[in-house]
């Protein structure tokens, strides 16, 4: 039997031509099935590789298969099963003629007749898009863990029991270990590497010290404790002017009045340094009886001036 250049039998897809399915239609349909299937497999591979720890090259190949499969499937579908004729309509003709309507209907129905597995192809196409969408959700995990309460609490607040203050080597600190002329940096016992819990211990002039209301018993003798992290952007506050009882942050010169709840008296910091409630345990070591009075370090979206 003779065929035209596309392998289509003469008279195929013509008006009144009846069933016009050809070998070319079979091939195209199989190609669409294969393309969408490859796309689904690519999307699944992408998801699996990502969950297994990720591998950039493999993920790239899988993404190319997923996107390329969808693209190829749609292109072949449009090329072989949709009317491709260019239709030119004169400006003055506002309505199709009877012949044009008949010809269009015949061409449309011919395409519909040759597409034997329309439902399957449509489902596969939707499946490929759905699988790709699902795979695209996995990178959300790369945003990292939820911060939870980690931005607001430190280890001092864990467990609800007093924690000893220790030095960088984990050695507990007694009030007698401190001197008026120097700063001591401390951490909660067992958390010597928690940067957000680093604490300044300092001796103040008890005569001039004015504890904030409700914090009268947060000091031990003349020892008071504040967070070491500047409330501007979190630099360690490391300079203590003992004669003025001022703490200075070296980054942008914020200055805090240790005699008055570490209120900022100069510089860009807007909040006082959070204070830590102190006590001594039965063995005479300094302990914190709770967490800092406010979240430590610089501000974030829901932090007020506390
Ligand atoms: S971080 Fe301390 S003043 Fe800016």
| Count of structural domains, the chain | 2
Domain membership of residue 36 (yes or no) is yes
Task: Using the 3D structure, point to which of 143, 164, 191 is the last residue of a domain.
Answer: 143
Q: What is the CATH number of the domain that holds 244?
A: 2.102.10.10
Residues 130 and 251 in one domain: no
Q: Which residue has the higher pLDDT, 264 or 137?
A: 264
- Paired sense of beta strands 184-188 and 199-203, if any: antiparallel
Residues 258 and 279 in one domain: yes
Domain membership of residue 10 (yes or no) is no
Domain membership of residue 265 (yes or no) is yes
Counting ligand 1 atoms within 8 A of each CB, the residue from 249, 255, 271 with the most, and so the one to mutate, is 249
289 CB near ligand 1 (under 6 Å): no
Residues 89 and 35 in one domain: yes
Residues 29 and 136 in one domain: yes
Rounded to whole angstroms, what are the CA distances from 44 to 35, 47, 131, 133, 235?
A: 14, 5, 7, 11, 45
Structure tokens at 135: 């795979």
Domain membership of residue 303 (yes or no) is no
Q: How confident is the model at residue 105 (pLDDT cuts 50, 70, 90)?
A: confident
* 202 contacts 185 by C-beta, under 8 angstroms: no
Task: Using the 3D structure, point to which of 114, 143, 172 is the last residue of a domain.
Answer: 143
Q: Nearest 10 degrees: CA dihedral of 74, 78, 81, 84?
A: 180
Residues 32 and 136 in one domain: yes
CA distance 262 to 203: 13
Domain membership of residue 134 (yes or no) is yes
Residues 191 and 114 in one domain: no
Structure tokens at 163: 């924690």
What would the pLDDT profile of 45-99 be if each residue is shown by its tens digit?
A: 999 999 888 888 999 999 999 999 999 999 999 888 887 677 787 777 678 888 8
The predicted structure's pLDDT at residue 48: 93
Domain membership of residue 293 (yes or no) is no
> Rounded to the nearest 5 degrees, what angle is found at the Cα of 221, between the Cα atoms of 216 and 222?
90
pLDDT at 13 over 70: no
Domain membership of residue 9 (yes or no) is no
Residues 139 and 39 in one domain: yes
228 CB near ligand 1 (under 6 Å): no
- The crossing angle, in degrees rounded to 10, of helices 118-137 and 23-51 is 20
The single-letter DSSP state of residue 12 is T
Bridge partners for 279 per DSSP: 287
Residue 237 CA to ligand 1 center (angstroms) comes to: 8
Residues 246 and 169 in one domain: yes
232 CB near ligand 1 (under 6 Å): yes
247 CB near ligand 1 (under 6 Å): no
Does the pTM surpass 0.85? The reply is no
Kindly report the protein residue whose alpha carbon is nearest to atom 3 of ligand 1.
Answer: 252
> Rounded to the nearest 5 degrees, what angle is found at the Cα of 48, between the Cα atoms of 44 and 60?
75
pLDDT at 138 over 90: no
Domain membership of residue 255 (yes or no) is yes
Atom of ligand 1 nearest to the CA of 230: 2
Residues 89 and 195 in one domain: no
What would the pLDDT profile of 182-230 be if each residue is shown by its tens digit?
A: 889 999 999 998 989 999 999 988 888 888 999 999 999 999 999 999 9
Lowest mean pLDDT among 70-74, 109-113, 171-175, 234-238: 109-113
Task: Using the 3D structure, point to which of 99, 123, 143 is the last residue of a domain.
Answer: 143
How large is the greatest C-alpha to C-alpha distance in the chain, in angstroms? 113
CA distance 258 to 279: 18
Residues 271 and 205 in one domain: yes
pLDDT at 180 over 90: no
Taking the CB of residue 181, how many other CB atoms lie within 10 A of it?
10
Residue-number span of the structural domain to which 46 is assigned: 23-143
* 271 contacts 304 by C-beta, under 8 angstroms: no
CA distance 97 to 105: 12
Of 273, 278, 258, which is closest to residue 174 (Cα–Cα)? 278
Residues 121 and 236 in one domain: no
The single-letter DSSP state of residue 31 is H
Residues 159 and 113 in one domain: no
């Amino acid at each position: 039997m003779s065929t035209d250049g596309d392998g289509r039998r003469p008279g195929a897809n013509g008006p009144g031509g009846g069933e016009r399915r050809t070998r070319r239609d079979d091939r195209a349909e199989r190609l669409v099935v294969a393309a969408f299937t490859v796309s689904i497999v690519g999307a699944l591979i992408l998801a699996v590789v990502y969950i297994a720890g990720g591998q950039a090259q493999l993920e790239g190949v899988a993404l190319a298969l997923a996107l390329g499969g969808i693209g190829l499937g749609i292109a072949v579908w449009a090329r072989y099963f949709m009317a491709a004729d260019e239709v030119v309509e004169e400006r003055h003709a506002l309505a199709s003629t009877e012949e044009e309507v008949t010809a269009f209907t015949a061409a449309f129905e011919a395409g519909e007749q040759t597409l034997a597995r329309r439902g399957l192809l449509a489902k596969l196409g939707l499946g490929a898009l759905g699988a790709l969408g699902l795979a695209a959700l996995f990178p959300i995990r790369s945003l990292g863990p939820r911060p939870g309460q980690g931005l607001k609490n430190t280890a001092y607040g864990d467990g609800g029991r007093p924690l000893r203050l220790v030095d960088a080597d984990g050695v507990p600190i007694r009030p007698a270990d401190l001197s008026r002329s120097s700063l001591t940096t401390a951490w909660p016992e067992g958390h010597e590497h928690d940067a957000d819990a680093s604490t300044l211990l300092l001796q103040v002039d008890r005569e001039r010290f004015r504890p904030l209301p409700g914090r009268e018993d947060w000091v031990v003798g003349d020892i008071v404790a504040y967070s070491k992290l500047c409330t501007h952007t979190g630099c360690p506050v490391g300079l203590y002017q003992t004669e003025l009882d001022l703490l200075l942050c070296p980054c942008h010169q914020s200055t805090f009045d240790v005699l008055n709840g570490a209120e900022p008296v100069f510089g860009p910091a807007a909040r006082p340094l959070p204070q830590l409630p102190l006590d001594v345990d039965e063995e005479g070591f300094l302990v914190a009886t709770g967490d800092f009075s406010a979240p430590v370090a610089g501000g974030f979206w829901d932090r007020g001036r506390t």
